[in-house]
Structure 1
């Protein structure tokens, strides 16, 4: 073998069982959120049906770019939630702490996006 041995910071540390479990749980939450967003997207296809009637006047969805915001908000919030959870988990791993607390910011960010959709349609 020629040259110096590889630096210890280049060689990754083996994953702990709790980190593997965290990855599995985070993946299942991502899958469940994606299925929820898909079902919500299907239901949102029918939101504009009441735009012509006076009984169902949804101003934000019926006029302007509100419909695009309502369709995009769950997916944008899901991407932001994954990014937030990833950043918090990476910081926790670098500091030697548990990554499980990283799920909370992800859930809160995605919940805020779903709350925005709810408030846009029925609020």
Structure 2
């Protein structure tokens, strides 16, 4: 009696490639967030000089918090987007592309806040 031939798993190698690419992008995003957080911790030093932007140095607006924590919130939103795209919608590469765009909004907002 012979066993039936096993079917190859649907998309097995592509899942591994997706996981590796998503993991590398996540590691790069965490490194970028660390550098931005470090930079934003010292960005307020220029508020007493002419180099500080009005938006960032205004203490009533909370823009300093947006610049400091915006990339972290964007990274969390991007991770949720990628997971939902891969698990719920079953479109992992589209979810990854949308997640990259969602994440890019956080550092862009932080840099725009500081440098105007």
Query: After TM superposition, where is structure 1 displaced by more than 4 Å over at least 4 residues in a row?
Result: none
- The match for 2:52 among 53, 57, 68 is 57
- The match for 2:112 among 88, 108, 119 is 119
Counterpart in the other structure of 1:20: 16
Mapped partners of 2:30, 2:52: distance in 1: 29
Select the structure that is richer in helix.
Answer: 2
Q: How many equivalent residue pairs?
A: 106
- The match for 1:99 among 78, 84, 92 is 92
Counterpart in the other structure of 1:72: 69
Say yes or no: does 1:45 pair with 2:41.
yes
Shift of residue 15, structure 1, vs aligned partner = 6.7
With structure 1 as the length reference, what TM-score do the two structures score? 0.77
Shift of residue 119, structure 1, vs aligned partner = 1.4
Conserved in 1, the CA contact under 8 Å of 2:33 and 2:71? yes
Q: Which moved more, 1:56-65 or 1:26-35?
A: 56-65
Residue 76 of structure 2 aligns to a residue in which SS?
helix
Structure 1 unmatched ranges of 5 or more? 1-12
